A and B are shown apart, each in its own frame.
Chain A
Amino acid sequence: MTAISVPSWSPDAFTAMRLGFAFVVLGSIARLQFFRPRGRPTAPVGLARIVDLSWMSGPVMFTWSQRAMYAAVVCYAADVLTVYALPVLTIAFLLELTYRSSYGAVNHGHHVVCVVLVAMLAGVLTWNAASAFNWDLSPLTADSQNATAAWWAIQAVLAMYFTSGLQKVIASGGAWIRVSPNLLLSVQRSAHLSRLRGGPRQSAEERSERLSSHLIGRRSLVRFVFALGLLVELVAPIGLFGEYVLLAVGIGLIALHLANAALLTIRFDVWALVVLVFFVIPPFFR
């Protein structure tokens, strides 16, 4: 096992990552909920604990914030004024996700975008500061601003999956795999909630319900399937051993999201796309 180093990405790989991530961010901005909670946050989280964010509920505020984000993401994709576009996007996503999560329902569906933006912005600022003041931060930063931003973003995403895996181990006292067949109850609940919602996803829920009813009597098989999911999350950090290990981890994580969508009907498309952009695509642009 050799020393870990920042991958030497080609200019094409950087372009692919930048355009790919811009596409993901664009999708996230387009799906911001126009129908917003009203009044003072009932369960403030993060910044909302110190600052009243109820001013974000107005439709005018929403429209302008969305327009600013669109402009910033176009700049980021075109690699123009990136150092200004990144803070705009980061602050806008931080505020938006904090506001949305401050009414008692935290949805992690778009957190990965915010975390990647925070990591990239920190990477860019650190690299610029090191460059301006001639600091030698070489083990921490890479040989270019783009490489530092990408390397920090990848580590931040891996940390999210690792945290999720660790939380399952900690909260269940290590017995998560053993009790994982109980998740089939969640399948039943998801199917039920889907019927209340109606719409095109209902057939997916019905498939998932059928699949879970086949699995109910096969607890060992269910344990094995869920064990694979947990282990993929727990071993995610080994992706830092090299580009091809990262590719393998990326494929494993995307498979995890596909399996979650099929069985638990939990769709984390944004997460899967971020993994695709930063873990899977770069090795094909050597």
Chain B
Amino acid sequence: MSIASITLVVGVGVPVVVACVGWFGPERSSWPSAKTMRLWAGVIAVAAIVAAVIAPVVAILWIFLALNLTLGTRENVPFSRYPMFCRPARDIWSVQFEGDDETPVPVQALGLAPVDVNKMFAHEARVAARRGASETAARQAAARKIAALVESRRPATGPWSSAPIHIVVLDYSFDSTGKIATVRTTLDVTP
């Protein structure tokens, strides 16, 4: 077996074994901390660089992996860790816009996509949380930013050119019977 084959077998084998062991292992009480994740990403990146040096025929695979795990941490395009769905939480949320009568506002009328609004809200909430805000305060801070964005994006004509728009968060979780429960909270409203 060549060195390049060994790097691939070991590189693929270890995470596959870890994933399969975790499948049947005990439930975790919390996610790994950011420090632990950085440590593991660093260890794997170093191992990938070593693999690139000893197995040049597959060096590009290992170099891109190392770059994704280091530069990709802060989404330095085109490098990323592709974190979508990496932590399937027991409770998640989404943001929507509503009129006074709880009618959903068509987000595209504001030139936005619902998924982008959610990502922007999450980003603003993270920024507020990093400044020490509680979860509720962080959400309210994010809602204020989103309300300002909505205000700047109002269409020139039509019902949403001037009507108040409410920023609402929906929280989804599993109830005791295993069904999905949704809780609705209004966080802010445009003038």
A interface residues, Cβ below 8 angstroms from B: 1-6, 35, 38, 42-43, 45-47, 93-94, 97-98, 101, 103-108, 111, 114-115, 118-119, 123, 139-140, 151-152, 155-156, 158-160, 162-186, 188-189, 192-198, 216-217, 223, 227, 230-231, 234-235, 237-238, 240-241, 264, 266
Tell me the smallest distance from the CB of B58 to a CB of chain A, in Å.
5
With A104-B119, A171-B37: A240-B8 Cβ-Cβ less than 8 Å = yes
With A6-B57, A185-B92: A105-B119 Cβ-Cβ less than 8 Å = yes
User: Nearest chain-A residue to B44 (Cβ)?
Assistant: A166
Query: With a CB–CB cut-off of 8 A, which chain B residues contact A192?
Result: 94, 96, 170
With A177-B23, A216-B179, A234-B15: A45-B74 Cβ-Cβ less than 8 Å = yes
Most chain A CB atoms below 10 A, which of B15, B23, B88:
B88
A–B pairs, 24, beta carbons within 8 Å: A1-B9, A4-B4, A45-B75, A106-B75, A107-B115, A108-B80, A118-B78, A119-B64, A140-B56, A140-B59, A166-B44, A170-B40, A171-B32, A172-B28, A173-B36, A182-B88, A182-B174, A192-B94, A193-B94, A193-B114, A197-B114, A237-B58, A240-B58, A266-B84
With A163-B68, A234-B19: A94-B92 Cβ-Cβ less than 8 Å = no
- B5 at interface (Cβ–Cβ under 8 A)? yes
- B155 at interface (Cβ–Cβ under 8 A)? no
B interface residue count range (under 10 / 10 to 19 / 20 to 34 / 35 or more): 35 or more
Interface pick from B102-110, B132-140, B156-164: B102-110
- B183 at interface (Cβ–Cβ under 8 A)? no
Query: With a CB–CB cut-off of 8 A, which chain B residues contact A183?
Result: 85, 88
CA distance A47 to B19 in the complex (A): 34
CA distance A3 to B27 in the complex (A): 41
Query: With a CB–CB cut-off of 8 A, which chain A residues contact B40?
Result: 170
Query: With a CB–CB cut-off of 8 A, which chain B residues contact A174?
Result: 18-19, 21-22, 25
B77 touches A98 (CB 8 A): yes
Query: With a CB–CB cut-off of 8 A, which chain A residues contact B55?
Result: 4
Tell me the smallest distance from the CB of A140 to a CB of chain B, in Å.
5
A198 touches B22 (CB 8 A): no
With A46-B76, A98-B77, A106-B80: A158-B61 Cβ-Cβ less than 8 Å = yes
A240 touches B61 (CB 8 A): yes
Most chain A CB atoms below 10 A, which of B11, B36, B94:
B94
B22 touches A104 (CB 8 A): no
Closest 8 CB pairs of A and B: A174-B22, A159-B64, A105-B119, A104-B123, A182-B88, A164-B82, A155-B60, A139-B56
With A173-B32, A178-B23: A152-B60 Cβ-Cβ less than 8 Å = yes
A238 touches B69 (CB 8 A): no
Query: With a CB–CB cut-off of 8 A, which chain B residues contact A38?
Result: 152
Most chain B CB atoms below 10 A, which of A169, A196, A234:
A196
- B188 at interface (Cβ–Cβ under 8 A)? no
Tell me the smallest distance from the CB of A110 to a CB of chain B, in Å.
10
Tell me the smallest distance from the CB of B73 to a CB of chain A, in Å.
10
B19 touches A176 (CB 8 A): yes
B11 touches A155 (CB 8 A): no
Most chain B CB atoms below 10 A, which of A123, A160, A166:
A166
Tell me the smallest distance from the CB of A59 to a CB of chain B, in Å.
13
A46, A155, A168, A184: the one within 8 Å of B58 (CB): A155
- B16 at interface (Cβ–Cβ under 8 A)? yes
Add 15 more A-B contacts to A104-B119, A107-B115 (CB < 8 A).
A2-B5, A45-B76, A105-B120, A119-B64, A156-B64, A158-B61, A163-B68, A163-B81, A167-B82, A169-B19, A175-B28, A185-B90, A227-B19, A237-B11, A241-B8
